[in-house]
Amino acid sequence: MSVVTFRWSRFILRLGGCLFLWWVLTGGRASSWLIGLPTIALALWVMNRFPQAPFWPISVAGLLRFIPYFLLQSVRGGVDVARRAYSPTLPLDPEIIEFPLTLPAGRPQMFFLNSVSLLPGTLSADLNGTTLKVHVLDRKVDPQLGQLENRVAQLFKCPLGSEK
């Protein structure tokens, strides 16, 4: 696997994405570009400084299957942590577990890391190579990270288990 250097196609795609995002967020007001354009330039510069991982496009069918799952899990996660926060006895039994990641590096891994933190009782604490340290609120609850990994793999149509 070679290190990817600057590529125009990727740059144009990112520029377009940033412009569109800013346009939607500000309703396209002309004066907002005074802030928007320098910010976008800064964002593109920062993005370019990060190591470039191989690109995995999102599959639309995978996304449609992921959204309801994610929403349901977010609600469960919020309700779960709220219940613990309100409970007088503070029912927490936390520990840090290690999860061997089998998703390929780049977007699939980043997506997984962020999803873990939004799911019930889990927080991705540290990624070391392919070992993810996950802080769990209750060690008696199965965090079902394997299931999440499968769903993320479907989302990016990427293979599991091949460490590249």
Partner 1 sequence: MGIIDLISASLLLCSLPFFLAGTLGLLRFPDLYCRLHALTKADNLGLGLVVLALMIQADSFQVVIRLLLTWLLVLVAGATVAHLIAHQAQQDGHQPWRR
Q: Which residues of the shown chain bind partner 1 in the complex (CB under 8 A)?
A: 21, 24-25, 27, 74-75, 77-82, 84-86, 90, 92-96, 113-115, 117-118, 120-121, 123-127, 133, 135, 137
Return the CA Rg of the chain: 19
Minimum Å distance from CB 95 to partner 1? 7
Closest Cα partner for 104 from 63, 66, 149, 46?
A: 149
Which residue, 25 or 41, is less far from partner 1 as judged by CB?
Answer: 25
Q: Which residue has the tokens 């599991």?
A: 160
CA atoms within 13 A on the CB side of 101: 25
Closest CB 56 distance from partner 1, rounded Å? 17
Which residues neighbour 52 within 8 Å (Cβ) at sequence distance 6 or greater? 3, 4, 5, 10
Rank residues 13 and 71 by Cβ distance to partner 1 and give the closer one. Answer: 71
The residues, any chain, with a CB within 8 Å of residue 27's CB and separated by 6 or more, are none
Q: Supply the minimum distance, in Å, between the C-beta of residue 85 and partner 1.
A: 4
Question: Given the complex with partner 1, which of 7 and 42 has the nearer CB atom?
Answer: 42
Q: Which lies closer to partner 1 via its Cβ, residue 59 or residue 74?
A: 74
Nearest distance from C-beta of residue 80 to partner 1, angstroms: 8
